[in-house]
A and B are shown apart, each in its own frame.
Chain A
C-alpha cells in the first residue's frame, strides 16, 4: 500500500487509480460493518475516498497512510452516526433482526445456519476450547476477559480462534 501511495504521490495516475479502487472496496466493507444500511455505508465510503483523494497530496501522515485514511473513514462514520442518530436505529434493527430471525430468514440462510450449526457441533466435540471461547464471546466478553476466564494468554486465544475458524472453513467446504 505504501509503495502505491508513494507512486501516486510521484504523479503516477495508474497507481492513483489502483489506490483509490482498493481503498473504496475496503472502505465500503468497513463502513458496512459499522452501519447496517448498505446505501449509507456506500455513500460514506465514497465521501471518505473523496476526502482522502483531496487531501493525500498535502496531508502530513508521516509515512503511515493507512491509519490516516482509516481515521478519515472513522470520522465520517462518527459524524454520520451523530448527525442522524443512526446508533439508536442500528441497535433497534439488530434487536429486530434477532427477534424476527426465526420467522423471516430466507431459505438460503436456513441452509447456511444448518450447515454452520452442524460444523460447530463437530467442532465443539473436536476442539472444545474454541467452543468455550465462542460461548464467552456470545456472552459479550472481550478478549481480555475471555483470556482470564480460560486461563490463557491473548496469543493463545488468537491461535485457538484461528484454528477453529480454519476447521469451520474446511467443514463448510469454503475455499482457502
Chain B
C-alpha cells in the first residue's frame, strides 16, 4: 500500500469533512471503514488531529472565523430578515426607499379603510330566525326576542300549490293588522314561506299569521300560525 497516496480517492475526499464532523452517518461510516485500510488517510487524520480539534471546537477559533465571515454568511431566519430589511431600506435617498413609499401608501389608504369598515358595521344587524308550524288549536308558541335584531319568520305550508299565490295576514293580540299581502309569493318549492321583518317592525306580544290560497278563501285551505314574542 503506497504511503503518500490515498488508496480510494472517492472516499478519501471526505477527509477534512470528517475531521470537522460535518459528514452524515453513512459517509462517516464509509470513511471510518476507509481509515481501517488506508494508511495515508489514517496518518493524515492523526497528524492533523490537534489542529482539526481546535478548528472544530475551540471557542477562540470559532469566534474569530465567525467575526470574519459573519457578514457574508449568517444563519437561518436572521439572514432572511436582514435581506428583507436591506431591500426595504436600501442606501438611497428617502424618496426612493420602498419602505417609505409603503408607509405613505398605508397612510393614504388607512382613512378610506376605516370609513368603509364603519359604514359596513352600521348597516349590518344580526338576524333572528323564527320557525312556525301551523296550528288549529290556537296554542301559541313562545319565542324570545334577542335585542334589536331583524326577524325572519319561516313557516311550513302543508298544502303547497305549485306557483300559487297566497293571501298573508299578520295580526296582533287585539286583531290589529300588522301586515297584509294579497299576492304573497314567498313560498318555495319545499313548502317553506319566509317574511322578513326589519328591526323595530314588531314588538313583544301575541300574533297570528294566516295564510290562504288567493282564489279559494275556504277554511280547509287556510293555515294559521300562532306565536308569542317575549323579551
Per-residue A-contact encoding for B68-85, CB less than 8 Å = 1, 0 else: 111011010000000000
Per-residue B-contact encoding for A38-71, CB less than 8 Å = 1, 0 else: 0000000000000000000000000000110110
Residue from B29, B56, B68 in contact with A124 in the complex, judged by beta carbons closer than 8 Å:
B68
- Chain B: residues with Cβ within 8 Å of the partner, total of 44
**A56 → B minimal CB distance (Å):** 13
A157 with B17, Cβ < 8 A, contacts A113-B60, A132-B72, A143-B24 known = yes
Contacts of B34 in A (CB 8 A): 66
A128 with B72, Cβ < 8 A, contacts A29-B46, A141-B22, A164-B16 known = yes
**B71 → A minimal CB distance (Å):** 11
Report, as a range, how many residues of chain A touch the other chain: 35 or more
Contacts of B66 in A (CB 8 A): 135, 138
**B124 → A minimal CB distance (Å):** 51
Is the CB–CB distance between B57 and A94 below 8 Å? Answer: yes
Count of A-B contacts judged by CB separation below 8 Å: 126
Whole-angstrom distance between the alpha carbons of A29 and B51 in the complex?
15
Interface of B is mostly: helix
Is the CB–CB distance between A159 and B13 below 8 Å? Answer: yes
Contacts of A141 in B (CB 8 A): 22
Q: Which of B35-43, B147-155, B171-179, B219-227 contacts the other chain?
A: B35-43
Nearest-CB residue, chain B, relative to A29: B46
Nearest-CB residue, chain B, relative to A166: B16
Q: Is A84 an interface residue (CB 8 A)?
A: no
Is the CB–CB distance between B32 and A70 below 8 Å? Answer: yes
Whole-angstrom distance between the alpha carbons of A142 and B69 in the complex?
18
Q: Is B100 an interface residue (CB 8 A)?
A: no
Is the CB–CB distance between B65 and A131 below 8 Å? Answer: yes
Residue from A26, A117, A135, A162 in contact with B60 in the complex, judged by beta carbons closer than 8 Å:
A117
Q: Is B182 an interface residue (CB 8 A)?
A: no
Is the CB–CB distance between B61 and A29 below 8 Å? Answer: no
Contacts of A66 in B (CB 8 A): 33-34, 36-37
A143 with B22, Cβ < 8 A, contacts A132-B72, A135-B69, A172-B51 known = yes
Is the CB–CB distance between A175 and B65 below 8 Å? Answer: no
Is the CB–CB distance between B20 and A135 below 8 Å? Answer: no
**A98 → B minimal CB distance (Å):** 6
Contacts of B21 in A (CB 8 A): 137
Is the CB–CB distance between A168 and B69 below 8 Å? Answer: no
Residue from A23, A109, A169 in contact with B36 in the complex, judged by beta carbons closer than 8 Å:
A23
Q: Is B55 an interface residue (CB 8 A)?
A: yes
Is the CB–CB distance between A162 and B15 below 8 Å? Answer: yes
Nearest-CB residue, chain A, relative to B21: A137
Can you offer 8 A-B residue contacts whose CB atoms are under 8 A?
A116-B54, A124-B68, A131-B69, A135-B66, A136-B73, A149-B73, A162-B16, A174-B51
